[in-house]
Amino acid sequence: MKLYLATGNAHKVKELQEIIAAAKLPIEVFSAKEVGGMPEVVEDQETFTGNALKKGLALAQQLPEGTWALADDSGLCVDCLDGAPGVYSARYAGEKATDTENLNKLLHEMEGLPLEQRSASFQCHLAMVSSSGDEQIFIGQCEGHIIEEACGEGGFGYDPVFVPQGKEKTFAEISSEEKAGLSHRGNALKEMIEFLRNALSAKK
């Protein structure tokens, strides 16, 4: 089975290759660059699933027969902000906002709120779309809360202010291995791997 990732990011491709290899699945993972690159997609849907599907369908249209595209859309949902930043997580402070600008806007909007009102979750929605248009969706999340100021040098985006449930350190303060075991993306990938394992076993 061949899976093409809807990104040009070599790090993400390598990460997925390692995860698939560790799961001992007979699946080859490629970058969208192998089929002409990721087509331009305007992420204008109101849900993570909608955006992930839009990207997956766009890439699937240029894939060889019998192969699959994998796309994701992820973000931070804060309860007291009615789920914001949500699908706008990467551009919360504006279309060309930096991670720091987005993070600072979030902290400003939550300023003065007590811990019990600072609950949040990271969401990851994966869309697998075949070259013939079949669709599968996998959803992962990580519950936690937002602290009052950034802590840690690792990670990216909102990692320096997000503390996962049951932990005392932010995503930016823990190792990438520990984060992978807790994260929304890791949880979504576990769902996908379980689906693929069952699908491949059924074909034997």
Q: What is the pLDDT of residues 10-29, one digit of tens each?
A: 777 888 888 888 889 999 99
Report the pLDDT value the prediction gives residue 102, as an integer from 0 to 100.
96
pLDDT < 70 stretches in the chain: 204
Residue 203 pLDDT: 74
Residue boundaries of the structural domains of the chain: 2-203
Q: What is the pLDDT, as a whole number, of residue 97?
A: 93
Residues 6+ apart with CB under 8 A from 38: 6, 7, 8, 32, 55, 58, 59
Question: What pLDDT sits at residue 22?
Answer: 85
Q: What is the CATH number of domain 2-203?
A: 3.90.950.10
pLDDT at 176: 82
Cα separation, 83 vs 79, in Å, equals 5
Give me the pLDDT at residue 18, please.
83
DSSP-derived letter for residue 85 is B
What pLDDT does residue 11 have? 74
pLDDT at 204: 65
Residue carrying the six token digits 């932990």: 167
Given a contact cutoff of 8 angstroms between Cβ atoms, the answer to whether 9 and 38 are in contact is: no
Residues with catalytic roles: 73
pLDDT of residue 201: 82
Q: What backbone torsions phi and psi does residue 146 show, to the nearest 5 degrees?
A: -100, 125
Helix (H) or strand (E) holding 177: helix 176-182
